[in-house]
A and B are shown apart, each in its own frame.
Chain A
């Protein structure tokens, strides 16, 4: 069409405006601020260029490195678990049976629930006096009851359980999409060639859905790196910083302490971590 460039620009303009003001500019601002010292709520104090100081502070702050470690543990435990469980769920809800549509909808529920609701819900379940968790472990012996969210040994685990519950459906959906793209003829051909159930899974299903699985890994990793809502509601980073993941650490720096430069440095760090993982997965994907 004539003038398509100009017409396209016109159609794209409103979206572009939003994305520019509330995404692109903030992203660049985030990078820029990470080299400045500035108090968020006291802007009249001005900004001071401090070079790499914010990053150096991060490196030397033991809380920050502990926070990085916590985040990495969180990612390496939850993501493989979610993808594995997601794969199992996807295999089940891909089979044709009566009520499959209903089951798929039910499986989606944890994904659809607001994360703060999920957090409060799990906080209630992990309650130290009347939570279901304790009841299932110890029954009536209330003297044995644990306080998982107040125990530095257990708090992170409790948050991981909540996260796995909430986001496994998403991994399952991504893998389901991959499963649905495998043509039935392939299985039929394999049956004719004499493959059994397990062999079909190993030789056909797995290779065919490998991209979907990797994609699920990628999305889940990027997301797990910036886990925040669960921590905010369930533990506020405690006890004893045991659940103080990077994103929460950055939030506290920016909005509780108002040190937006330091907070931005954390953001940039999280971004590069995500990018690193993304590139890694893309390499594996080929």
Chain B
């Protein structure tokens, strides 16, 4: 296994700059997730690492050795495609043995490695079948198996679970995490599903418009999003973002009929933002229904979505729409007017697209 380092990686297709000055590292044995919305350049980044695409600038190294000049077959990376890309004319066994054959390993060694991978993935019974005779989940396993037998320096996964149905996806997710623990493999894993990212990733890189928005552990990204985009993209349901302005004289944020005391959240530094535009973010679970005194605003309950375990309450506050997530047992009725508040420590403040605090 190995350490991956990417420095100032840039990729343009014609005039379209898909990746701009990307830099990050994946430590030896680390499970790193690349998270981002569709079209943000995730696949492109992975293909650059694999050598399937040529970089327009920057460098990539594995274990301190530059690999960006090497063709894919010399990079010793394994790639699990979104579509699996199994060889349709070969049996499952042959699919997994193919790369080992190319490296002229002895037949015994090949058999042993393939059997071991098959056992790990529980596809021993399917070894003689052809890919088109397998279910989606089994194909996915074969694709992973084909990568495992290689014992490559790094595993690259491109949304490997996106073609599976929801329950299979959840169980494969757990299996992948288990697999990683057993193999201690270096993994770069793409997904646009933030739940998948949060559960799998030891490190998460949030990519958007070809730039790294934030890089960190899942809890850091959830608790301290670096900008409004990350705030909204990570976490479900989405964070409420409120655009407004800070008072000239006091640490009070105003937006429409809403008034929030930020003296605690901003403490001493508030003067720097006096009179300036701010964005306040608050997650639906952090919105509380208040008593009389400390309320930020009044809001009318428009729609209640009951999910059993808890409820999503859609609120209207003047022009603004807000979403609150409340325990199922809390009584609230449609049309009711309630008072809103929240803990200052749970507020996310952004100024000009950047986190302040």
Contacts and interface: CB of A to CB of B under 8 A. Distances in A.
- Judged by CB atoms under 8 Å, the answer to whether A and B touch is yes
Contacts of A1: 52, 54
4 contacts: A1-B52, A1-B54, A2-B54, A2-B71
A2 B71 CA distance: 8
Interface of A: 1-2
Contacts, number: 4
Nearest to A3: B54
Pairs of residues from A and B, 4 with the lowest C-beta to C-beta distance, nearest first: A2-B54, A1-B54, A2-B71, A1-B52
A74 B71 CA distance: 58
B10 to A, nearest CB: 16
Contacts of A2: 54, 71
Main secondary structure of the interface of A (DSSP, over half): loop
A10 to B, nearest CB: 15
A2 B73 CA distance: 13
Contacts of B71: 2
A280 to B, nearest CB: 36
Contacts of B54: 1-2
Interface of B: 52, 54, 71
B73 to A, nearest CB: 12
B52 to A, nearest CB: 8
Nearest to B71: A2
Contacts of B52: 1
A4 to B, nearest CB: 9
Nearest to A2: B54
A1 B55 CA distance: 10
A2 B51 CA distance: 9
B282 to A, nearest CB: 48
A2 B52 CA distance: 9
A2 B74 CA distance: 14
A2 B54 CA distance: 6
A92 B350 CA distance: 70
B53 to A, nearest CB: 8
B283 to A, nearest CB: 45
A1 B71 CA distance: 8
A3 to B, nearest CB: 9
A80 to B, nearest CB: 45
A2 B72 CA distance: 11
B68 to A, nearest CB: 10
A208 B226 CA distance: 54
B234 to A, nearest CB: 35
Nearest to B52: A1
A46 B186 CA distance: 75
A1 B48 CA distance: 10
A111 B255 CA distance: 78
A247 B71 CA distance: 53
Nearest to B70: A2
A126 to B, nearest CB: 52
A8 to B, nearest CB: 15
B267 to A, nearest CB: 54
A5 to B, nearest CB: 12
A282 B71 CA distance: 44
Nearest to A4: B54
A207 B157 CA distance: 46
A7 to B, nearest CB: 11
A2 B75 CA distance: 14
A72 to B, nearest CB: 48
A2 B67 CA distance: 13
Nearest to A1: B54
B265 to A, nearest CB: 52
B80 to A, nearest CB: 21
A178 B131 CA distance: 33
B14 to A, nearest CB: 15
B151 to A, nearest CB: 26
A42 B71 CA distance: 57
A251 B342 CA distance: 94
Nearest to B72: A1
A2 B53 CA distance: 8
A167 B223 CA distance: 74
A2 to B, nearest CB: 5
B215 to A, nearest CB: 29
A1 B51 CA distance: 8
B133 to A, nearest CB: 27
A54 to B, nearest CB: 48
A1 B54 CA distance: 6
A240 B71 CA distance: 70
A1 B52 CA distance: 6
A19 B62 CA distance: 46
B214 to A, nearest CB: 32
A2 B68 CA distance: 11
